[in-house]
């Protein structure tokens, strides 16, 4: 399978078996896509870093599984939060985002993703980078082959909490399972939207790691109201979160624009740097308005 066109050439000795993080510059289309997803949900956020995940072995596994086993790909970019762990740590796992490391949530043990970035921020799913007083947040943008989804609405029960895979499809051949779960909107820590709907989001749960490819690690600055920050710190982790708990993106959270320096433009002349590294990531999910055709 060919490498994606936007990837930089592999370094000598890189056999594609591990993740490499490559800096995306502020005048690249990939940066503009990430910025649009963040700001559509949270207009006061200032995007400060985007790193592309180049992991050839995992990419080939994802493409092969998507094309062979997911009849209707329903491919989306969704935000996923790593909570206390950095994206670098999560991406060291040889299997990528592995549902086996998830804690049991509203819909069992799976990888949770969401449509609203404020869900990630309000739920403390977004990884908070040290040294920035809680204002610099990191998330993974995950390419997700959601397939035919089991619609759960806001239903939560002891049965849904024990789920280890989606249910049997109500249409089509007998004993064929859905590919993933779609549920909500839910709020962080609570089901349903509540009176205001603040931080409520549709969430998606995937039980097969090969349906997921962590495509970007993004960081953004956001001035979080001290009362909101204190509240989320006191609340702890949502039971539907995992080591890469789901977050999502929607209406704006409080706070003004960050005063951090603007992101660097691509050096001219010369190609973009292909250096590895990159900081931790946070959680969230892409907007429902994300076009079906992804770069």
**Residue 271: pLDDT over 70:** no
Can you tell me the distance from the alpha carbon of 276 to that of 278, in angstroms, rounded to the nearest whole number?
Answer: 7
**Residue 169: pLDDT over 80:** yes
**Residue 242: pLDDT over 70:** no
Cβ–Cβ contacts within 10 Å for residue 106, how many?
24
> 176 versus 267: which is more confidently predicted?
176
How much is the pTM? 0.77
Lowest mean pLDDT among 185-199, 231-245, 246-260: 246-260
> 10 versus 71: which is more confidently predicted?
10
**pLDDT category, 133, cuts 50, 70, 90?**
confident
Apex 130 CA angle, 215 and 43, nearest 5: 60
**pLDDT category, 6, cuts 50, 70, 90?**
very high
Q: What's the alpha-carbon Rg for the chain, to the nearest Å?
A: 18
Per DSSP, the residues of 115-151 read: S-HHHHHHTT-SEEPTTSTT-EEEEEEEEEE--SEEE
Render pLDDT for 13-29 as a digit per residue (tens, 0 to 9).
Answer: 888 999 999 999 999 99
Render pLDDT for 201-238 as a digit per residue (tens, 0 to 9).
Answer: 899 999 999 999 999 999 999 886 665 556 555 554 44
Can you give the pLDDT at residue 102?
79
What's the distance, CA 57 to chain centroid? 20
CA atoms within 13 A on the CB side of 198: 9
SS percent in the chain: helix, strand, coil, step 5: 20, 25, 55
Q: What SS3 class is residue 18?
A: coil
Q: How far is the CA of 120 from the CAs of 47, 53, 79, 156, 176, in angstroms?
A: 16, 21, 8, 20, 32
Render pLDDT for 116-130 as a digit per residue (tens, 0 to 9).
Answer: 877 777 767 888 888
Can you tell me the distance from the alpha carbon of 52 to that of 39, in angstroms, rounded to the nearest whole number?
Answer: 19
User: Which residue in 187, 287, 198, 195 sits closest to 238, CA to CA?
Assistant: 187
Highest mean pLDDT among 59-68, 132-141, 180-189: 59-68
Can you tell me the distance from the alpha carbon of 180 to that of 144, in angstroms, rounded to the nearest whole number?
Answer: 10
Reading the block at residue 201, the tokens are 């989001």
Q: Which residues contact 118 (CB under 8 A, 6 or more apart)?
A: 41, 42, 198, 199, 201, 248, 249, 250, 251, 252, 253
> 171 versus 249: which is more confidently predicted?
171
Can you give the pLDDT at residue 167?
94
**Residue 57: pLDDT over 90:** yes
Say if CB 84 and CB 178 are below 8 A apart: no
Looking at the chain, the number of H-run helices and the number of E-run strands are: 6, 10
Can you tell me the distance from the alpha carbon of 99 to that of 124, in angstroms, rounded to the nearest whole number?
Answer: 20
């Amino acid at each position: 399978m060919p490498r994606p066109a936007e990837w930089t050439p592999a370094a000598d000795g890189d056999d594609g078996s591990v993740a490499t993080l490559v800096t995306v510059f502020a005048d690249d289309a990939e940066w503009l896509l990430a910025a649009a997803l963040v700001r559509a949900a949270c207009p006061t956020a200032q995007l400060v870093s985007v790193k592309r995940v180049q992991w050839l072995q995992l990419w080939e596994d994802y493409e092969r599984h998507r094309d062979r086993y997911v009849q209707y790909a329903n491919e989306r970019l969704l935000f996923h939060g790593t909570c206390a762990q950095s994206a670098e740590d999560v991406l060291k796992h040889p299997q990528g985002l592995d549902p086996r490391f998830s804690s049991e949530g509203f819909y069992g043990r799976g990888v949770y993703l969401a449509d609203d970035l404020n869900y990630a921020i309000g739920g403390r799913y977004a990884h908070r980078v040290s040294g920035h007083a809680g204002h610099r947040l990191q998330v993974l943008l995950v390419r997700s082959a959601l397939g035919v989804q089991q619609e759960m609405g806001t239903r939560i029960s002891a049965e849904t909490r024990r789920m280890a895979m989606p249910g049997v499809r109500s249409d089509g051949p007998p004993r064929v399972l859905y590919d993933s779960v779609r549920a909500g909107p839910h709020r962080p820590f609570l089901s349903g939207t509540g009176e205001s709907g603040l931080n409520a989001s549709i969430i998606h749960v995937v039980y097969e790691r090969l349906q997921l490819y962590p495509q970007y690690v993004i960081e953004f600055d956001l001035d979080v109201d001290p009362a909101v920050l204190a509240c989320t710190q006191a609340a702890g982790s949502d039971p539907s979160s995992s080591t890469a708990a789901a977050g999502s993106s929607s209406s704006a959270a409080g706070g003004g624009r960050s005063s951090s320096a603007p992101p660097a433009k691509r050096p001219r002349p010369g190609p973009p740097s292909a250096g590895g590294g990159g900081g931790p990531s946070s959680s969230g999910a892409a907007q429902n308005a994300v076009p079906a055709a992804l770069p």
